[in-house]
Amino acid sequence: MDLKPEINWREIIYRGIESEELDYKAAQNWSKLSASGKAKFVRHCLAMANTKGGYVVVGVGEDNTGKPALYTGISDEYARSFDPTSVGNYINKYADPQINFVVERPEVDGKQFVIFVIKRFDDLPHVCTQSCEHELLQGVFYIRTKDASSRPAFRSTEIHQIIRRALRNQRELLGKMIRGILYEEKTFAQHLESAPYFREQLYHSRDFFKARRRDDNNSLYFDFQIMPAVFIENRFTLSELKRAAENSLFPNASGAFISLSDFDEFYSTNTALRCLPEGKLKLCQLFQSGLFHYISFIGNEKKISYSQFFSLIAEAFFFISRFYDELALDDDSLTISLQIGNAENAVLTQAPAEQKDRLTDYMCRIPKVKYKMVRSVPNLISGYADHAARTFIGICERFNMPDGRHPELAEKIISYTDS
């Protein structure tokens, strides 16, 4: 499975210079560390999370000059001792709120390493909740400095910087909440009034597809629709729709959603721009009302791979965010609905397992998977990767895949669509 591009572990391991975002540790066994030894890891995690985020690499020792240049790696026994669950529980009992980090165990040049990948705080800074030996002090905010030190923030400028970031995060969160409340009040009545007209167009679109494309294997089907708040039958010309779609295509699309070759097969109807590619089990319609409808059979019979599903969702949200941006629906809201039909006993294959570097399958137990959200056009445009990630995780949960198996998913979506 490849959700490209991956983190360049080799570059991180061999960088050889500790910094605000990077710290090296010699090979060691987590299970045999003293309380003081474990507290050092806690301190580094707290400090990096309160600064820029970063990496703690285990398996690189210092040479005679004190430079981290002994790339020994660690043994399998030592690597297994850094169990993500036990390590995470230990570190986060000293942090409030909990630190968002993962423990990776990459193999580079035939050697195994352990790397803590620590995310910078998004909401509130992390305070140390209890003291430990001489390494941790209760009630302290730790920061990471340019000289690669993880220490308490004691200068006024350091405290101010942490507070300023926290306040900025809170303002952004409050602003989103207020905009959401006002937006819902404004658009709720509009959605109620317009929904029947959009539903009629959707009904005819699905009926057209079923009459012309059939799958006798009872495969999964993917039904994706975006509905503006207000129904205006001839809101856009067919030329406007075609130009917007052309400017929204994913240049390196895998074909999981709409490919460049699919675009060549778009043609005009009385109400929409339609694509029913020859030999493919998919339909896309761009209605003059602003309604977007896409339906296709996916996977192989009752199976779809995790990477294929990732590509489908990433490319879909990339397209619609750019499409509605091109149509300049700045003051409108969009109801985004996704369904996966024939889902009962369907299998999501080659998905991340509990054990790192292992893949497994997950099965859906319900007939139809549904996911829905309402977003403003500016919100969709600016946060398409976050919305795609949230949708992808939500669908995977319906396949009984546990949460927490998708590290840095939004970042991977951005990297994928920027490639």
Q: What is the pLDDT of residues 388-401, one digit of tens each?
A: 999 999 999 999 99
Which residue in 414, 232, 211 sits closest to 321, CA to CA? 414
List C-alpha distances in Å: 260 to 4, 82, 250, 298, 310. Answer: 21, 46, 8, 18, 19
The C-alpha atoms of residue 249 and residue 310 are separated, in whole angstroms, by 17
Q: What is the DSSP string of 99-112?
A: --EEEE--EETTEE
Q: What is the DSSP string of 73-135?
A: -B-HHHHHHS-HHHHHHHHHTTEES---EEEE--EETTEE-EEEEEPPPSSS--EE-S-BTTT
The C-alpha atoms of residue 202 and residue 208 are separated, in whole angstroms, by 10
CB atoms within 10 A of CB 39: 21
**Secondary structure element (H or E) that encloses residue 409, with its range:** helix 409-418
Q: What is the pLDDT of residues 151-176, one digit of tens each?
A: 998 888 888 888 877 777 666 556 55
pLDDT at 176: 55
Q: What are phi and psi of 152, to 5 degrees?
A: -65, 145
pLDDT above 90 for 261 = no
List C-alpha distances in Å: 274 to 1, 174, 257, 265. Answer: 33, 41, 14, 8
Domains of the chain: 9-154 (3.30.950), 187-418 (no CATH)
The tokens for 232 are 């205006």
The C-alpha atoms of residue 381 and residue 365 are separated, in whole angstroms, by 33
Q: What is the DSSP string of 180-247?
A: HHHHHHHHHHHHHHHHHHHHHHHHHHHHHHHHH---TT--EEEEEEEEESS--TTSS-HHHHHHHHHT
CB atoms within 10 A of CB 8: 10
3-state secondary structure 4-58: CCCCCHHHHHCCCCCECCEEEECCCCHHHCCHHHHHHHHHHHHHHHCCCCEEEEE
Widest pairwise Cα distance in the chain = 78
Q: What is the pLDDT of residues 6-50, one digit of tens each?
A: 578 988 999 889 998 999 999 999 999 999 999 999 999 999 999
Instruction: Report the relative pairing of strands 54-58 and 347-352 from DSSP bridges.
Output: unpaired
Residues 226 and 332: beta-carbon distance below 8 Å: no
pLDDT at 5: 44
Q: What is the pLDDT of residues 34-90, one digit of tens each?
A: 999 999 999 999 999 998 889 999 999 998 888 999 999 999 999 999 998 889 999
pLDDT at 136: 93
C-alpha Rg value of the chain to the nearest Å: 25
Burial label, 43 (beta-carbon count in 10 A; 0-12, 13-18, 19+): buried
Chain-wide mean pLDDT for the chain? 86
Q: What is the pLDDT of residues 177-216, one digit of tens each?
A: 555 545 445 554 555 567 788 989 999 999 999 888 877 6
CB atoms within 10 A of CB 417: 22
pLDDT at 4: 43
Q: What percent of the chain has pLDDT over 90?
A: 50
| DSSP category for residue 287 | E
Q: What is the pLDDT of residues 288-334, one digit of tens each?
A: 999 999 999 887 778 889 998 999 999 999 999 999 988 987 667 88
The C-alpha atoms of residue 419 and residue 415 are separated, in whole angstroms, by 6
pLDDT at 14: 92
- In this prediction, residue 3 has a pLDDT band, given cuts at 50, 70 and 90, of very low
Q: What are phi and psi of 352, to 5 degrees?
A: -60, 135
pLDDT above 50 for 338 = yes
